[in-house]
């Protein structure tokens, strides 16, 4: 039996950990094969701790961030992690890179996709990654693109939480209980040694979202006692048979 699949499109090599590590670990535990695409290593703008080391080079930063991301993906149980090495600050994709992502999308055939908010004035690489994910999702659905290949259906694109939600036009409509896999997410977080200053920040985010899960699942009237959560905004309408 073919396993269900999911695809994460991450602007930088650490983004998938902070923002979707729980979803990756939880769905892996449920039998999904989760593929992660890191469009860049975040080597220029997301690696200040490494750059403060004497004699640091761009190649050294890339090697270290790649190693961290691979260790984090392993801790989460991800099926595959791919690095496009497109550069960051700014992140840019040419036609060849877009078609490379289309190839991955068609190969994975994800039931759902995860990427960034559609706006982020603090980091324009993030919404750019989502814009590219949407464009490549569209291309992957086109029967005229590489005729004969299996085209993509209509997977939901969930937008994971930006660093400063109140400035990014991001409104969560989906809360995920990640309590059972929190230890895996925290282990993955601690793999990101180049951004240690974010470890406790994203632990706090997970605790707050656990509270929101409890509140929205019934609260004091009998909600699930989630301790840790993640929040997402669904981009497309969802088709359901019952609410």
The CATH number of whichever domain residue 132 belongs to comes to 3.40.50.10320
Give the Å distances, CA to CA, from 151 to 28, 155, 212, 232.
Answer: 24, 12, 37, 26
Considering the domain boundaries, does residue 222 fall inside one?
no
> Model confidence at 219, in pLDDT bands (50, 70, 90)?
confident
Determine, yes or no, domain membership for 225.
Answer: no
Alpha-carbon distances of 156 from 114, 171, 185, 233, 235, rounded to whole Å: 8, 16, 23, 10, 7
Instruction: Flag whether 21 is in a domain.
Output: yes
**190: exposed, middle or buried (C-beta count within 10 Å: 0-12, 13-18, 19+)?**
middle
| Assigned domain for 214 exists | no
Asked whether residue 31 is assigned to any structural domain, the reply reads yes
**231 closest CA partner among 177, 174, 184, 180:** 174
Q: CA 189, CA 195: separation in Å to the nearest integer?
A: 9
Is residue 215 in some structural domain? no
Residue 37 domain boundaries: 5-198
Q: pLDDT tens, 138-175?
A: 999 999 999 999 999 999 999 999 999 999 999 999 99
Tell whether 141 is covered by a domain: yes
The model's pLDDT over 13-46, given as tens digits with 9 standing for 90+, comes to: 999 999 999 999 999 999 999 999 999 999 999 9
Question: What's the token pair of residue 25?
Answer: 């670990």
Q: Using an 8 Å Cβ cutoff, are 132 and 93 in contact?
A: yes
Evaluate whether residue 226 is within a structural domain.
no
Q: What is the total count of domains within the chain?
A: 1
Report the pLDDT value the prediction gives residue 194, as an integer from 0 to 100: 86
């Amino acid at each position: 039996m073919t396993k269900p699949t999911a695809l994460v499109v991450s602007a930088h090599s650490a983004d998938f950990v902070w923002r979707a590590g729980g979803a990756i670990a939880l769905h892996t535990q449920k039998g999904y094969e989760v593929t992660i695409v890191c469009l860049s290593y975040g080597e220029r703008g997301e690696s200040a701790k490494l750059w403060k080391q004497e004699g640091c080079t761009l190649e050294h930063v890339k090697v270290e961030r790649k190693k961290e991301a691979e260790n984090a993906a392993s801790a989460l149980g991800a099926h595959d992690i791919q690095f496009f090495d497109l550069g960051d600050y700014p992140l840019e994709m040419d036609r060849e890179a877009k078609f490379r992502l289309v190839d991955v999308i068609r190969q994975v055939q994800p039931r759902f996709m995860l990427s960034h908010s559609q706006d982020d004035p603090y980091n324009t690489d993030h919404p750019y990654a989502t814009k590219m994910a949407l464009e490549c999702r569209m291309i992957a659905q086109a029967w005229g693109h590489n005729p004969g290949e299996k085209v993509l259906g209509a997977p939901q694109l969930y937008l994971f939480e930006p660093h400063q939600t109140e400035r990014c036009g991001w409104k969560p409509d989906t809360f995920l209980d990640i309590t059972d896999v929190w230890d895996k997410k925290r282990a993955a977080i601690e793999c990101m040694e180049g951004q240690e200053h974010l470890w406790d920040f994203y632990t706090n985010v997970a605790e707050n979202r656990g509270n929101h899960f409890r509140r929205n699942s019934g609260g004091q009237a009998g909600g699930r006692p989630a301790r840790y959560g993640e929040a997402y905004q669904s981009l497309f309408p969802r088709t359901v048979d019952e609410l």
